[in-house]
Amino acid sequence: RRPVILDVDTGNDDAVAITMAATHPAIELLGCTTVAGNLSLEEATDNTLRVLNAIGRSDIEVHAGLSRPFAPTPYAYGANEVDGVFHQNTLPVGVSGLQPRSWHGVEWLIETLRQTTRQVTLIPVAPLTNIAAAITVAPDILDSIDEVVLMGGSSTFGNRTLSAEFNIYTDAVAANVVLNAGIKRLTMAALDATHDVLVSREDLHRYRTLGTLAGDLVSAVTEYYIDGYEASAGPIGTASSAPPHDALCVAYAIDPKVIDTTDAFVEVDTVSPYNYGRTAVDFHGNRGEPANVRFAKHADSALFHRILDECLRGECRA
């Protein structure tokens, strides 16, 4: 089983990612760290605990990390003002008020990676604040990470502003720290790929009929999520479907064939008022820099759905 740590700002699609990592037999979920992003740190942590509790996996450790980005966002050119529809205080699942473990998320990440004798896959599906902090304080942890699979960025248009994707935009400085850290294998599930996969209201109906905790949870959370997309003016998703971005990273950890990647040099704009938080993706070596990212341009939607169904059909395993 592939040892995985998830860094989340739960979040609807985060909830699907957590559920997949907690249920699929190919993954051993070592723990979750939480960070401010979609919601405040407290809300994201509470949501994460409630998701794990609702699927019968409260044994999985949750550690609260950083509550603010390295750099607040100075510009929001063409911001998607209806983005707030995704930033609910609560998910429609589980009991509130559960407590995270007492470690600080960043310290737990560092200690866990220092103590392990295994190679761990790190999956950040949120602003990169915790990951940048951990790598800055303890660059030696990179020796224990076989791959970072992150949700973020775009080589085309954005979803938070005209050109910037939400996770990268929200802590663009942290994103540049991570991109420049010399990570052995850094796979980026960008909007280019995550927009290839949609979950529809018909899918939800199927999940509900499975009669599993995981099926019930993903069905409830995603219904809420599709309602949010329906209310937004965004270019992707329809009245009956939405892209479960974060879940694609976990699907990839289960079966890498689910995305196609192209090597590229990627850096984040932290200067321009128009493009703040945009990932400049150099596929052709124009900048003369070696590739630092395996950039996902496309995803295999049918394979994604097979993997997700597999996760939801099985009961959760410790």
Q: Which residues are the active-site residues?
A: 9
Q: Does 11 bind ligand BDR (CB under 6 A)?
A: yes
Nearer to ligand BDR, 27 or 39 (CB): 39
Region of 9-17, 100-108, 221-229, 268-276 interacting with ligand BDR (CB under 6 A): 9-17
Q: In the set 7, 13, 46, 192, which binds ligand BDR (CB under 6 A)?
A: 13
Strands (E), 106-244: 120-124, 145-151, 186-189, 199-200, 241-242
Region of 5-13, 70-78, 256-264, 309-317 interacting with Ca ion (CB under 5 A): 5-13
Give which of ligand BDR, Ca ion, none residue 108 binds (C-beta under 5 to 8 Å, depending on kind).
Answer: none
Q: Does 14 bind Ca ion (CB under 5 A)?
A: yes
Give which of Ca ion, ligand BDR, none residue 133 binds (C-beta under 5 to 8 Å, depending on kind).
Answer: none
Give which of ligand BDR, Ca ion, none residue 86 binds (C-beta under 5 to 8 Å, depending on kind).
Answer: ligand BDR
Kindly report whether the peptide bond that precedes residue 11 is cis, defined as omega within 30 degrees of 0.
yes
Q: How far is the CB of 48 from ligand BDR (least distance, A)?
A: 12
Q: Are 150 and 124 in contact (CB under 8 A)?
A: yes
Which phi and psi angles does 120 have, rounded to 5°?
-105, 145
Q: Are 297 and 191 in contact (CB under 8 A)?
A: no
Residue of 122, 124, 125, 132 lying closest to 172 (CA atoms):
132
Q: In the set 125, 150, 259, 316, which binds Ca ion (CB under 5 A)?
A: 125
Residue of 183, 157, 253 lying closest to 166 (CA atoms):
157
Residue of 74, 63, 16, 66 lying closest to 37 (CA atoms):
66
Query: 3-class secondary structure for 13-46?
Result: HHHHHHHHHHHCCCEEEEEEEECCCCCCHHHHHH
Q: How far is the CB of 318 from ligand BDR (least distance, A)?
A: 26
Q: Does 246 bind ligand BDR (CB under 6 A)?
A: yes
Mask: binding to ligand BDR, 195-234, rule CB under 6 A, as x and -? ----------------------------------------
The CB density around residue 235, as the number of other CB atoms within 10 Å, is 9
- Residues near ligand BDR (CB under 6 A) are 11, 13-14, 38, 86, 125-126, 151, 159, 165-167, 245-246
